[in-house]
Chain A
Amino acid sequence: MTQAAASPEVELETTIVSRVGLWRRIAGAARKHPVGVIALILVVIVLFLAAFGGAISDDPNEITLDILQKPSDEHWFGTDGLGRDYFARVISGARASMSLALSAMLIGGAAALMIGMVSAYARGFVDLLGQRLVDMLLAFPGLILLLLMAQVVGRGWEAMAVGLGFLYAVDLTRIVRSNTLATLANPYVESARVVGASPPRILIRHVLPNMGPPALIYMTALIGGAILAEGALSFLGLGIAPPTPSWGRMLADGRTLWREWHLSVFPGVAMTVAVLGFNLLGDTLRDVFDPRLRGS
């Protein structure tokens, strides 16, 4: 407590300094990483369409008699087998994809923080068991693990979010754990322990604030993979249930109506653009904030 009373001025100063440093770093990074800027623009467009796309397009689920029309002024991407406007459906596919990826990030991030920090703090048997489990699951390709999760938690949007969150958690737990171990070695953790702080207090007040940046950077790099995994699962008919538009599902339907090329082209392009944006953004963030991985 005495610590907290003595330090506000010092704390204030360091935050200001680090904030200026951060902005300068971002400006410098933008000049040095033009690709990152392009990636950011792509990501912002995708997120914007996911959030507000409903306002600029028709109802994606409105069934009309204009079935299987080619792209035109009225229907930019044509219409599908039920006469639904394909542009509206592709846009709303972005919504499904993004909301899934973000929910999965929250679920997986929270789980990984809890498991990783507790595992690193507890050491011993808990840590050993947890890490063996994580190692074992990491040996699986993501898609196979996601298929298993789809069987366990069921189909549909919520189940997908849990399944993808589980994938995130498996990946992130290791990062959180190793960062926690590194943080716990700091003298300030030792002094907190000496003045009698409880383990939860140490983890929340002293360790948790160090977890944000690495976890966030790592998660950004994982979003592209999450979009692809969701698409693959929905494509196989094990993901988001119709009529909710999902890029994977639309591609699966487009395959049966193969004469209509536009049904198979637009969702794929949308998906590629979204994944490309997040992949490139993740690469750039890693380059900027984690110099050890630079150039790889």
Chain B
Amino acid sequence: MRQYVIRRVLLVPPTVLLLSIFLSGMMELVPSSVIDERLGTLQEAVTPDAREALEEHFGLNKPVHERYLQWLGQIFKGDLGRSWLTNLPVTKEIERRMPVTLEFLVLTMLLYIPTGIGIGVISAIRRNRPEDYGLRFFTIFMLAVPNFWLFTLAIILPLLWWGYSPAVPYSELWDNPLRNLEQMIVPAAITAIASAALLARVTRSEMLEVLRQDYVVTAQAKGLQGRTVVLRHALRNAMLPVITVIGLTIAGALAGSVIAEQIYNLPGVGVYLVRSLTNNDLPVVQSWMLLFGTAFILLNLIIDLSYSWLDPRIRFT
């Protein structure tokens, strides 16, 4: 166990380093530079000499590996670079926007976990009855519906029917909690229900597997209440793959928040990424990807470790 944990943890730094090299290489492939972006249509007016001077000023005349090392050195000092578009430090922007995305993720998870597990458990214990069929149809359907379509409908339909739309300028959670919740709850609920479909499916199949086991039959035979058997004996043992799915959904919900923030005008980190992508703001894209890529790698590590920690049978693999 100890060895496994150490090995997995030691693998993280090289993986993050690999990610930084990968991202730098990818950004080199983009045919755009800070000069092109800043100058825009003025480019033709710039003399070759002035351009050279600008290239030297921004360090673009240096070879790739030198620029990469410089970027890496900055990162180690906690500096994620500056936006080409606004010249503001990326760190500051992400710091300001992170609470919004984080609130969205927490809210989504709070709604997602009970919904997914609930549907899965009900589906499993009412196997092949109308409830099961209904819920299974619902989950299959939800896996196929594009979430951005649901977001759109959730804005358009209330507007058409009741002339209702959530209040527009975003309000901070601490300034006006009710208004903030009004703005957050619909996108969070849609993301939660859409991702709960997969969780429900996994929970259902795991529960069916566990409900067949001898110890569940024993528990039933010795006269334990149905609820105790399901919750204490069956569900706890069905949780392993469920936890993996939940972990993966956190990453998936971040991707969902990129779209939700865009549609619902929430000033989170997802909007920041999309805005930088549309404006070719490469330093932001590169640093954003490194930051959240590292988060995804760590998330994967936590999932793997919790897996081996919860199931003693796979400890030394």
Contacts and interface: CB of A to CB of B under 8 A. Distances in A.
B280 to A, nearest CB: 8
Contacts of A142: 255
Contacts of B282: 151
Interface string A136-161: 10011111100110111100000000
A18 interface: no
Interface string B118-144: 000000000000000000000011011
Interface string B267-303: 0000001100110101001000100110011011000
A70 to B, nearest CB: 13
Contact of B15 (A136, A141, A236, A254): A136
Interface string B245-264: 00000011011001100110
Given A151-B30, A228-B146, A272-B145, A255 B156 contact: yes
Contacts of A164: none
B85 interface: no
Interface string B138-172: 00110111111100110111011000000000000
Interface string B193-221: 00000000110010010000000000000
A152 B108 CA distance: 31
Interface band, chain B: 35 or more
Contacts of B22: 133, 136
B30, B145, B146 — most chain A CB neighbours (10 Å): B146
B50 interface: no
Contacts of B30: 151-152
A141 B148 contact: no
Given A139-B297, A144-B292, A151-B285, A251 B156 contact: no
Given A151-B277, A276-B141, A258 B14 contact: no
Interface in A54-113: none
Contacts of B258: 143-144, 147, 236
B156 A261 contact: yes
Contacts of A153: 29
B186 interface: no
B144 A232 contact: no
A231 B289 CA distance: 22
Contacts of B155: 255, 258
Contacts of B277: 147, 150-151, 238
A268 B153 contact: yes
A295 interface: yes
A265 B149 CA distance: 8
A248 interface: yes
A132 B299 contact: no
B19 interface: yes
A143 B19 CA distance: 17
A37 to B, nearest CB: 15
B187 to A, nearest CB: 14
Interface string A258-271: 11010011011001
Contact of B205 (A251, A254, A295): A295
A264 B208 contact: no
Interface in A164-221: none
A135 interface: yes
Contacts of A152: 26-27, 29-30
Contacts of A28: none
Contacts of B27: 152
Interface residues of A, number: 43
Nearest to A247: B146
Nearest to A231: B146
Contacts of A279: 140, 143-144
Interface string B1-21: 000000000010011001100
Interface string A267-289: 11001100110011000000000
B144 A272 contact: yes
A141 B262 CA distance: 17
Contact of B297 (A136, A238, A259, A295): A136
Nearest to B295: A139
Contact of B285 (A148, A265, A295): A148
Contacts of B300: 135, 139
A135 B262 CA distance: 29
Nearest to A271: B146
A242 interface: no
A228 to B, nearest CB: 5
Given A255-B263, A280-B140, A231 B148 contact: yes
B108 to A, nearest CB: 14
A276 B145 CA distance: 8
Interface string A113-148: 000000000000000000011011001111110011
26 contacts: A132-B14, A132-B18, A136-B18, A136-B297, A139-B296, A141-B252, A142-B255, A143-B255, A144-B254, A144-B255, A147-B274, A148-B285, A148-B289, A150-B277, A151-B277, A231-B148, A236-B262, A248-B148, A255-B155, A255-B263, A258-B156, A258-B160, A264-B152, A272-B149, A275-B144, A276-B140
Given A136-B19, A232-B147, A261-B160, 12 more contacts: A139-B297, A141-B296, A150-B277, A152-B27, A236-B258, A236-B274, A238-B277, A251-B148, A254-B152, A258-B155, A264-B149, A272-B145
Interface of A: 132-133, 135-136, 139-144, 147-148, 150-153, 224, 228, 231-232, 235-238, 248, 251, 254-255, 258-259, 261, 264-265, 267-268, 271-272, 275-276, 279-280, 295-296
Q: Which 7 A-B pairs have the closest CB atoms?
A: A268-B149, A141-B255, A276-B144, A143-B255, A139-B296, A275-B144, A258-B156
